[in-house]
Chains A and B, each alone.
Chain A
Amino acid sequence: MPSDPILRLEKIVKRFGRFTALHGIDLEIQDGEFLTIVGPSGSGKTTLIRLLVGIDEPTEGQIWLRDKRIEKIPANLRPTCMVFQSLALFPHRSVGENIEFPLKIRGESVSARKERTLELLDLLHLPRDFCDKRINQCSGGERQRVALARALAFDPEILFFDEPLSALDYRLRKTLEKELKDLHERTGKTFVYITHSLEEAMVMSDRIAIMREGRFEQIDVADVIYARPVSRFVAEFMGEVNLIDVEANAEGQLKGRNIDLKVDGAGQSSILTLPQGGTGTLMVRPEYVRFLNPDETSDFSVNGVMHAEYALGSRMQYSIETANDSVFTVEKLREHRFTGQMSDEVVLGWDADNAHLIPDNISK
C-alpha cells in the first residue's frame, strides 16, 4: 500500500448536544484507493462523511488533507466533492447546466465548459444530446450518472459518495456498482463510499471500514474482513455466518459451550487457540460447512437435523437444527445440493483452515 495518505483523521469526535455520534475516529485514506465505510443505520457514517466534505465541523479532532488541516474549512473551499444520497441535482437546470455547474462557478469560458460537459457525458456513457434534457425527464440511472458527471466536473481530489445507489432497483444497482469501480480505475481518483450494503462494499472497494456506534470496528481488505473478522458484530454484518460459543479446556483444546462440538485432534491449528479457561467464538461461513458421509472426518463436526432448504439462485441454503435448538446455516452450489430428505439426521463438518476464532476479550 502506498505510504502517503491523502486524508488523515485524528481523534475525530462529533457531539450533538448530549449525544456523541463519533467517538474519536482515526483513519488514513490512501491516495487513489476506493475505501468503503459500511455500517448499519445510526452507526455515524453519514455524520462522518458530512465532516469530511465540510458540511459540518467536528467537535474535536483534526482532519488533514495531505499536509493541510481542513476541519474548519467550509465545503466550498475544499478540493473534495460529494455525490449525495438524494443526488441533489438542480431541478431548475438542464443536464448540461448541472454538469457544468462547478466550471461556471469557477468562471470558465462557455466553450471550455461545453467541451468538458461533452467529455463527461461520453465518460459516463450518456448520449451527448442529453445536454438539453431536463433532470425530471431522466431515469434514476441517468440521474445517477449526471450527478457523477457533475462531481467529476469539479475535478475533486477525493470523491465522496453518501449511499447514492440505495434508491435504485437491484439490477441497475449492480450495473452501476461495476461502472463505478471501472470509473475509479479510469480516473485514478480517491473514492470514499458510504453504504449500509455489504454487497456494494465487497464489489467495489479496495478496503472496507466497518463502523459501529461511532467507532471503526475493523478496517481491512474485503477478504480479511470476510474471513477473519475481529468481532461477532463484523462477522454477522458481513453476511451469513455460523457462530459457536467455545471455551478452552485445561489442555487448551477448544470445547463447545452450549453445543456438542466434536474437535478432532488435528483441528488444533496454531491460530485457533485460546488461553487456558478463556472463552471465544468459533466462526465458520456457511459455504465451508460440508455434509459428512459416515466414513468422512473433519477438524470440527456437529450433529443436527435437516430443517429447511431455500433456493438462492445459483446456490442452495440449508438450515440445520442442532441438539440444543441452535441453528446452523449451510450453503452449497446448486449442483452440489443436499440429496436427502427433510428431517434427516446429518453430520456437519468443516476444517480448521476455514474457521476463525474470535477471543472474547476483543469481541464486543
Chain B
Amino acid sequence: MGVFSATPITVVLLLSFAAPLVVISVFSIMPQKVFNFAHLPDFSSYGVLLSQGYYRSLLWALGMALVSTVILFVICWPLAFAMAKVFDKFTTVITVVVVITLFVSENIRLFGWVLTLMKGGLIEGHLRAWTGLSFEGALYNVPVIIFGLVYVYFPFMLFPLAQGISTVPEEARQAAADLGATRWQVFIEVDLPLSAPGIVIGSLLSFVLAAGALAESKLLGGQAVIVIADEIETAFTYGQNWPLGSALSIVLIIIIGTLAIFGVNRVDLDAIMGRKS
C-alpha cells in the first residue's frame, strides 16, 4: 500500500531528476556530434575534454568558486555573527534588504554592475566629467568575475552562517572566555566548531552555485576567461556536440557531488550538536 501511494511522486522524481542524468550519462559515451543513442559507446568526448583544454575552463570555474566562497565566508561571518548575537530588530531589516535583492533577476542586477563599472559608465563617466581623468573600465577581468560571484551568492552564505552561529550557546562562549580564552580562541574553539553545520551548508551552497555560474563570467568578465558552464552551453548550442556537452556536465557533476558528499559527511552534524555518540 505504501509503495502504491508513493508511486506518483516516484514517477515525478524519476522523470524530472533521474531521467536527465541517465540521458546525459549515456550521451557522454556516444561518438562525437551524434544526436541519438544508436551508436556503439566510445569515450572520445572525454578524450576531447582533456586534449582540447576544456579542463582549463573547469579549473577556472572551480578556482573562482573556491576564492569567492572563501571571500564570502570572511565577509559574511561578522555580519552573520551580528545578526545572530548582537542586532536585535535590525536583523529583520538586514534580512529583508538582502532578500529583496533576490526579487530582481540575477542578469538584470549584473547588467546594473556593467553599467556602473564599464568605461563611460556610472563611475568612470562621472570621474571623467568632473575631473577630466579617465581610466579603462573595471570590467572584463578575473577579479570582477569573483566580485560578481561574491555579490550574487552573498545571501546563500549569509543566512546559513547566521543560522549556524545562532545555535552556539551564549554560555559556552562565556565559559570559554571565563576559562581564559581570548576572543580569537573562543572563535577557534567554540564558535567555529559549534556553528560548523551553518558553515558547511553556506560554503557548499556558495561553492556549488558559483562553480556552475555562467552570467558573471559572461556579463562582467567578457571573454577574460571561459568557465565550464559556458563551454557546456556552447557545446549543446553552437557546437552541436551533445556528447561533448554531456561529458563536460558529467565531470562537473561528479566533482561537485563528491565535494558535497565529502563535506556533509566530514562534518558530522549530529555529532557536533551532541545528539550522537
A interface with B by C-beta (< 8 Å): 53-55, 74-76, 80-82, 84, 86, 88-92, 101-102, 104-106, 134-137, 150-151, 154
Determine, out of B34-42, B107-115, B153-161, B167-175, the stretch whose residues face the partner at the interface.
Answer: B167-175
- Docked Cα-Cα span, A150 to B172, in Å, equals 13
Cβ-defined contact, B174 with A75, below 8 A: yes
Cβ–Cβ contact B169 & A105, under 8 A: no
Contacting residues, chain B, for A53 (C-beta < 8 A): 178
Contact present for A91 and B180 (CB under 8 Å): no
Contacts A53-B178, A105-B180; is A91 near B273 (CB within 8 Å)?
yes
Min CB distance B193 to A, Å, is 5
B193/A92 in contact, CB under 8 A: yes
Closest chain A residue, CB of each to CB of B178:
A75
In order of increasing CB-CB distance, the 8 nearest A-B pairs are A91-B274, A88-B175, A88-B171, A102-B179, A136-B274, A76-B177, A75-B178, A105-B180
Q: Determine how close the nearest CB of chain A comes to the CB of B47; give it in whole angstroms.
A: 47
Q: Say how far A221's CB is from chain B's closest CB, in angstroms.
A: 29
| A106 CB contacts on chain B under 8 angstroms | 180
Per-position binary interface string of chain B over residues 262-277, scored 1 when its CB falls under 8 Å from any chain A CB and 0 otherwise: 0000000001111101
Closest-CB distance, B169 to chain A (whole angstroms): 7
B interface residues, tally (CB under 8 Å): 23
A150 surroundings in chain B (CB, below 8 A): 179
**A55-B174, A91-B194 known; A81-B179 Cβ under 8 A:** yes
Q: Are B274 and A105 in contact (CB under 8 A)?
A: no
Which chain B positions have C-beta within 8 A of A86? 169, 171
Q: Is B185 an interface position by the 8 A CB rule?
A: yes
Give complex CA distance A20, B271 in Å: 43
Q: B177-204: contact bitstring with A at CB < 8 Å (1 yes, 0 no)? A: 1111110010001100110000000000
In the complex, what residues of B have CB within 8 A of residue A84's CB? 171, 174-175
**How far is B175's CA from A104's CA once the two chains are assembled, in angstroms?**
14
**Additional A-B contact list (19), CB under 8 Å, known A53-B178, A76-B180:** A54-B178, A55-B178, A75-B174, A76-B178, A76-B179, A81-B179, A82-B175, A84-B175, A89-B172, A89-B175, A91-B172, A92-B271, A92-B272, A101-B176, A105-B179, A136-B275, A136-B277, A137-B277, A154-B180
